[in-house]
Protein backbone atom coordinates (compact mmCIF):
# COMPACT_ATOMS: atom_id res chain seq x y z
CA UNK A 1 0.00 0.00 0.00
CA UNK A 2 1.47 3.35 -1.06
CA UNK A 3 0.63 6.70 0.49
CA UNK A 4 2.13 10.12 -0.17
CA UNK A 5 1.81 13.24 1.95
CA UNK A 6 3.33 16.71 1.90
CA UNK A 7 5.12 17.96 5.00
CA UNK A 8 5.58 21.70 5.40
CA UNK A 9 7.89 21.60 8.43
CA UNK A 10 10.13 19.42 10.57
CA UNK A 11 7.28 19.19 13.10
CA UNK A 12 4.94 17.79 10.44
CA UNK A 13 7.60 15.28 9.34
CA UNK A 14 7.96 14.14 12.96
CA UNK A 15 4.16 13.76 13.21
CA UNK A 16 3.98 11.69 10.02
CA UNK A 17 6.69 9.34 11.31
CA UNK A 18 5.03 9.21 14.75
CA UNK A 19 1.84 7.94 13.10
CA UNK A 20 3.78 5.30 11.15
CA UNK A 21 5.50 4.09 14.32
CA UNK A 22 2.11 3.18 15.82
CA UNK A 23 1.67 0.59 13.05
CA UNK A 24 5.11 -1.01 13.40
CA UNK A 25 5.57 -4.37 15.08
CA UNK A 26 8.70 -5.91 16.57
CA UNK A 27 11.02 -6.97 13.75
CA UNK A 28 9.90 -4.21 11.39
CA UNK A 29 12.44 -2.59 9.10
CA UNK A 30 12.01 0.94 7.75
CA UNK A 31 14.12 1.81 4.70
CA UNK A 32 14.71 5.56 4.33
CA UNK A 33 15.76 7.02 0.98
CA UNK A 34 16.33 10.61 -0.07
CA UNK A 35 19.00 13.16 -0.80
CA UNK A 36 21.41 14.56 1.75
CA UNK A 37 19.67 16.97 4.14
CA UNK A 38 16.14 16.03 3.10
CA UNK A 39 15.00 15.00 6.61
CA UNK A 40 15.68 11.29 7.06
CA UNK A 41 17.04 11.80 10.58
CA UNK A 42 14.08 14.07 11.40
CA UNK A 43 11.81 11.21 10.30
CA UNK A 44 13.67 8.85 12.65
CA UNK A 45 13.03 11.33 15.50
CA UNK A 46 9.33 10.90 14.79
CA UNK A 47 9.64 7.11 14.83
CA UNK A 48 11.42 7.25 18.20
CA UNK A 49 8.74 9.59 19.57
CA UNK A 50 6.04 7.21 18.32
CA UNK A 51 7.79 4.34 20.08
CA UNK A 52 7.74 6.33 23.35
CA UNK A 53 11.47 7.02 23.28
CA UNK A 54 13.25 10.36 23.64
CA UNK A 55 13.42 12.05 20.21
CA UNK A 56 15.87 14.59 21.65
CA UNK A 57 18.52 11.87 21.75
CA UNK A 58 18.33 11.18 18.01
CA UNK A 59 21.30 12.32 15.95
CA UNK A 60 22.59 11.19 12.60
CA UNK A 61 24.65 8.01 13.13
CA UNK A 62 26.87 8.76 10.11
CA UNK A 63 30.12 8.32 12.04
CA UNK A 64 28.96 5.63 14.49
CA UNK A 65 26.90 3.74 11.85
CA UNK A 66 24.35 2.42 14.38
CA UNK A 67 22.65 4.07 17.35
CA UNK A 68 19.95 2.49 19.50
CA UNK A 69 17.07 4.24 21.24
CA UNK A 70 15.00 2.52 23.94
CA UNK A 71 11.23 2.93 24.10
CA UNK A 72 8.16 0.73 23.86
CA UNK A 73 10.31 -1.03 21.27
CA UNK A 74 14.03 -0.40 20.79
CA UNK A 75 14.81 1.39 17.54
CA UNK A 76 18.18 0.70 15.93
CA UNK A 77 19.07 3.66 13.68
CA UNK A 78 21.50 2.70 10.91
CA UNK A 79 23.22 5.07 8.47
CA UNK A 80 24.79 3.56 5.35
CA UNK A 81 26.01 6.87 3.89
CA UNK A 82 29.71 6.13 4.36
CA UNK A 83 29.49 2.43 3.47
CA UNK A 84 29.92 0.71 0.14
CA UNK A 85 28.30 -2.49 -1.07
CA UNK A 86 29.24 -5.45 1.08
CA UNK A 87 30.16 -3.32 4.11
CA UNK A 88 26.44 -2.99 4.88
CA UNK A 89 26.14 -6.79 4.97
CA UNK A 90 28.73 -6.87 7.77
CA UNK A 91 26.55 -4.78 10.11
CA UNK A 92 24.31 -7.72 11.04
CA UNK A 93 21.04 -6.01 10.09
CA UNK A 94 19.08 -9.27 10.38
CA UNK A 95 20.16 -9.73 14.00
CA UNK A 96 19.10 -6.19 14.91
CA UNK A 97 15.42 -7.04 14.43
CA UNK A 98 15.52 -9.79 17.04
CA UNK A 99 13.50 -9.31 20.20
CA UNK A 100 11.57 -6.11 20.69
CA UNK A 101 13.38 -4.04 18.09
CA UNK A 102 12.75 -2.06 14.93
CA UNK A 103 15.46 -1.05 12.47
CA UNK A 104 15.42 2.24 10.55
CA UNK A 105 18.04 2.41 7.78
CA UNK A 106 19.09 5.72 6.23
CA UNK A 107 20.55 5.58 2.73
CA UNK A 108 18.84 2.22 2.20
CA UNK A 109 19.45 2.50 -1.54
CA UNK A 110 23.02 1.35 -0.75
CA UNK A 111 21.80 -2.11 0.28
CA UNK A 112 22.89 -4.78 -2.18
CA UNK A 113 19.63 -6.71 -1.89
CA UNK A 114 16.12 -5.77 -0.80
CA UNK A 115 14.84 -6.57 2.67
CA UNK A 116 11.62 -8.52 2.19
CA UNK A 117 8.66 -7.05 4.06
CA UNK A 118 10.35 -3.74 4.82
CA UNK A 119 8.47 -0.44 4.90
CA UNK A 120 10.00 1.92 2.34
CA UNK A 121 9.99 5.66 2.95
CA UNK A 122 11.14 8.07 0.23
CA UNK A 123 11.56 11.72 1.17
CA UNK A 124 11.80 14.27 -1.64
CA UNK A 125 12.64 17.97 -1.27
CA UNK A 126 9.90 20.09 -2.87
CA UNK A 127 11.54 23.43 -2.06
CA UNK A 128 11.76 25.48 1.11
CA UNK A 129 10.62 23.39 4.05
CA UNK A 130 8.22 21.31 1.95
CA UNK A 131 8.91 17.57 1.64
CA UNK A 132 6.96 14.85 -0.13
CA UNK A 133 6.97 11.69 1.96
CA UNK A 134 5.99 8.48 0.20
CA UNK A 135 5.47 5.37 2.31
CA UNK A 136 5.23 1.91 0.73
CA UNK A 137 4.00 -0.75 3.15
CA UNK A 138 3.99 -4.45 2.29
Q: Which CATH number belongs to the domain containing residue 14 in this structure?
A: 3.40.50.300
The whole domain housing 130 covers: 2-136
Which residues are within 8 A (CB) of 4 and not within 5 positions of it... i.e. 6 or more apart? 132, 133, 134, 135
- pTM listed for this prediction: 0.91
How many domains in the chain?
1
On the question of pLDDT at 59 being above 70, the answer is yes
pLDDT at position 51 is 96
On the question of pLDDT at 62 being above 90, the answer is no
For residue range 12-52, list pLDDT tens digits in order. 999 999 999 999 999 999 999 999 999 999 999 999 999 99
Amino acid sequence: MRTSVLSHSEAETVSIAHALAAALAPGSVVLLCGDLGVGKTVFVRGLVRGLEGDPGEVTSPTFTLVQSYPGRLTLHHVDLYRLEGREADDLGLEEMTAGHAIVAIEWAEKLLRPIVGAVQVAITDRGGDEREITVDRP
